[in-house]
Amino acid sequence: MRTKLQLLLFALLVVCLLVDVSAKQRRRNSKYHRRTTTTEASVQDEVMNMLEADEIAEEAAEDAEVTVEDGRNEVGSKRQSLLRMDPCMHKHCGAGRVCKTIDDETAECVCVEICDEEVDPRRKVCTNHNETFGSDCEVYQARCFCDTGDDRCRGPNYQHVHIEYYGECRQMPECREEDMADFPRRMRDWLFNIMRDLADRQELPSHYLKMQREAETNHTLRWTNAAIWKWCDLDGHPHDRAVSRHELFPIKAPLMALEHCIAPFLDFCDMNNDHKITLIEWGKCLQLDEEDLDDKCDELAEAKNSDQ
Ligand SMILES: *[C@@H]1O[C@H](CO)[C@@H](O)[C@H](O)[C@H]1NC(C)=O
Ligand SMILES: *[C@@H]1O[C@H](CO)[C@@H](O)[C@H](O)[C@H]1NC(C)=O
């Protein structure tokens, strides 16, 4: 459910953005190539884990000035009780890995051997090394090779390779001041519209529905509720009342190729530069009134648990 939601959200963000961007571009009479992006929702959590592992590794390296012994993620290597019939049936393998049956009772997660070839350039991805990969699968695969000590590991750099954004690597146009000035408003609008769309499709978790209804009826809450919802939603890996760089992945990666102001905007949100965005910071960069922002995440999480 959660991953499905995230995928939908990606799609919606992109759609909202395309509408907004194309309207804007038409006004400017300039050419703009539309791009849409998709991602495998099923790998979303693994992506989070990878990014988290990277972050931990980076921080450790910064703090201690020692090389990190091992920042790799253990997703997929967890041994679980296996079904007798098909030991792969209930085995979950992380991104870039597939389940392989060893014998009747044993299954193992191994690196994907061959990634499907993607012809659509929009399925290509740009990594943190500014290197275009054919697909997200290839990035996870490259990483898996290094994690497992496979000969095909392309070098130590690839142990922490991750997707920076969807689409081919390119020169990011500079985010002009006037675009940036208008960005918070656009971002607020997207958030509100996405929340509304999810509600219309009955895909908004019930504990957020009340907020959505409030946003529709009470003008003061129109943007604040959407902002709170998104922030709580992003702050899930881990849930610590701060949205870290890797937790921004679900909004950043799909939007980067479309919207060159997203990265500077999100950097700007992290006002004290501690790599975390608090709700206060989030509200400020969206130009919302601090007083209207209520940290309701816990309340919402409780409501969610009682729903189930
Ligand atoms: C990344 O690669 C693209 C395409 O090769 C290039 O145009 C761009 O300048 C590079 N960006 C950086 C930051 O090196
Ligand atoms: C709108 O919400 C604000 C904040 O919760 C509240 O103070 C205000 O009374 C509400 N206005 C209406 C018309 O319900």
The per-residue pLDDT for range 259-280, each reduced to its tens digit, is: 889 999 999 999 999 999 999 9
Residues 108 and 217 in one domain: no
Distance 91 CA to ligand 2 centre (A): 49
Residues 290 and 199 in one domain: yes
Residue where a domain stops, chosen among 171, 200, 215: 171
Could you say which ligand is closest to the alpha carbon of residue 224? Answer: 2
| 37: confidence class by pLDDT, cuts 50, 70, 90 | very low
Q: Is residue 58 part of a domain?
A: no
Q: Is residue 52 part of a domain?
A: no
Q: Is residue 91 part of a domain?
A: yes
169 lines ligand 1 (CB under 6 A): yes
Residues 206 and 279 in one domain: yes
| 193: confidence class by pLDDT, cuts 50, 70, 90 | very high
- Structure pTM? 0.69
Provide the percentage of residues in the chain whose pLDDT is more than 90. 47
Could you say which ligand is closest to the alpha carbon of residue 124? Answer: 1
| 245: confidence class by pLDDT, cuts 50, 70, 90 | confident
Residues 103 and 141 in one domain: yes
One-letter amino acid for residue 65 of the chain = E
d(CA 178, CA 28): 13
Residue 192 near residue 210 (C-beta atoms within 8 A): no
Residues 214 and 296 in one domain: yes
Residues 201 and 157 in one domain: no
Peptide linkage before 238 cis (omega within 30 of 0): yes
Q: CB neighbours of 11 closer than 8 A, spacing ≥ 6? A: 36, 38
Could you say which ligand is closest to the alpha carbon of residue 167? Answer: 1
Residue where a domain stops, chosen among 106, 139, 171: 171
Residue identified by tokens 């009134």 is 289
Angle between helices 221-234 and 249-256 (to 10 degrees): 100
Higher pLDDT pick, 19 / 206: 206
Distance 290 CA to ligand 2 centre (A): 15
**pLDDT (tens digit, 9 = 90+) per residue, 56-114?**
666 565 554 333 333 343 344 444 444 457 788 888 888 899 999 888 888 899 999 99
Q: Which structural domain, as residue segments, surrounds residue 269? A: 177-305
Could you say which ligand is closest to the alpha carbon of residue 165? Answer: 1
Query: What pLDDT does residue 86 have?
Result: 79
Higher pLDDT pick, 192 / 302: 192
| 21: confidence class by pLDDT, cuts 50, 70, 90 | very low
Nearest alpha carbon, ligand 1 atom 4: 170
Question: The domain spanning residue 99 has which CATH number?
Answer: 3.30.60.30
Residues 189 and 167 in one domain: no
Nearest alpha carbon, ligand 2 atom 9: 218
Residues 289 and 227 in one domain: yes
Residues 103 and 167 in one domain: yes
Residues 132 and 219 in one domain: no
Tokens of 74: 């253990």
Strands 125-127 and 132-133: antiparallel
Distance 210 CA to ligand 2 centre (A): 14
Nearest alpha carbon, ligand 1 atom 10: 171
Distance 36 CA to ligand 1 centre (A): 20
Question: The domain spanning residue 280 has which CATH number?
Answer: 1.10.238.10
Residues with CB under 6 A from ligand 2: 218, 220-221
| 197: confidence class by pLDDT, cuts 50, 70, 90 | very high
Tokens of 232: 């709580």
Structural domains counted in the chain: 2
Query: What pLDDT does residue 117 have?
Result: 87
Q: Is residue 7 part of a domain?
A: no
Residues 181 and 299 in one domain: yes
Q: Is residue 55 part of a domain?
A: no
Residues 143 and 125 in one domain: yes
pLDDT mean across residues, the chain: 78
Residue where a domain stops, chosen among 118, 152, 171: 171
Q: Which atom of ligand 2 is nearest to the CA of 292?
A: 4
Q: What would the DSSP string read from start to end of the chain?
A: -HHHHHHHHHHHHHHHHHHHHHHHHHHHT-----------GGGHHHHHHHHHHHHHHHHHHHHH-S--S-----TTT------SS-TTTT----TTEEEEE-SSS-EEEEE-SSPPPP-SGGG-EEETTS-EES-HHHHHHHHHHHHTT-TT---GGGGG--EEEES---PPPP--HHHHHHHHHHHHHHHHHHHHHHHHTT-S-HHHHHHHHHHHH-TTHHHHHHHHHHHHHHTTTT-SSSEETGGGHHHHHHHHTT-TTHHHHHHHH-TT-SSEE-HHHHHHHTT--GGG----HHHHHHHHHHH-
pLDDT at 257 over 90: no
Q: Is residue 146 part of a domain?
A: yes
Q: Is residue 238 part of a domain?
A: yes
171 lines ligand 1 (CB under 6 A): yes
d(CA 5, CA 198): 9
Q: CB neighbours of 77 closer than 8 A, spacing ≥ 6? A: 94, 109
| Mean pLDDT, rounded, for 288-294 | 82
**pLDDT (tens digit, 9 = 90+) per residue, 148-162?**
999 999 999 999 999
Q: Is residue 213 part of a domain?
A: yes
Query: What pLDDT does residue 27 have?
Result: 38
